[in-house]
Amino acid sequence: MISPIPTPSPHIFELQQVRHFYGTKPFAPDTMALDIDALSIPRESIIGLTGPNGSGKSTLLKLLAFAFRPSTGTILFNGKPEYPFSGNVRCNITLLTQEPYLLKRTVFENINYGLKIRGREQKLNGQAEEKIRYALSHVGLDFEEFAHRKWNELSGGEAQRVAMAARLVLKPQVLLLDEPTASVDVESAAMIKESAAMSRQKWGTTIVAASHDSKWLEGFCDIHLHLIRGRVVFT
């Protein structure tokens, strides 16, 4: 008898009894950064995270990126537990932070670097160039003008758009955004939002975005989570 193929979970992330602590006194109440009994994130959704500084937004994003393990609890990705920097995580989840942190290389090399470390590097026979040209176009940057610029020849907004392109070129399952527009111009902020929305439309990417800019999140998110002291207090 042939066993039925299991139906995939409708949720790309499932958090169960997740708590995370910082500081020199582990598990002390005043060191708790995140306290979530249960949270599920639907596939292909756009989740907005808001809350004051220190509310746990960045900690939640880093845990979803599997940058480290939670102090206690379980995080499932595609229905299975994962661990930091596993091959499945590196190939499918990417995080854009407030600071772009570009390598001291050209724009082309910065965007191509993600393909290299994920084993997707293409020889320069037009395939890599085509991918990078496509990614730059979605953040509003012209390939001929920007591909060979050095990292220190970019404005703050341009650098963040290049960092965004470096994530879009991977066609990720999950795109995590941590205050991506905090220090960029209005045009760059709009391009980052537009390109994130495009990734869901074209590739079914799930997006989780933390921002203090409620206007930027407005009309962008399917679900809005507000955090206070590490807890989700309303949606």
How does pLDDT run along the chain (235 residues), one tens digit per residue? Answer: 555 555 667 999 999 999 999 987 777 777 899 999 999 999 999 999 999 999 999 999 999 999 999 999 999 999 999 999 888 998 899 999 999 889 999 999 999 988 887 765 544 445 788 899 999 999 999 999 999 999 999 999 999 999 999 999 999 999 999 999 998 999 999 999 999 999 999 999 999 999 999 899 988 999 999 999 999 998 7
d(CA 168, CA 164): 6
User: Which sequence spans correspond to the domains of the chain?
Assistant: 11-234
Q: What is the pTM of this model?
A: 0.92
Look at phi and psi of residue 210 and say left if phi exceeds 0, alpha if psi is from -120 to 50, else beta.
beta
With 0-12 / 13-18 / 19 or more C-beta atoms within 10 angstroms meaning exposed / middle / buried, residue 19 is middle
Q: Which fold has domain 11-234?
A: Rossmann fold (3.40.50)
Max CA separation in the chain (angstroms): 64
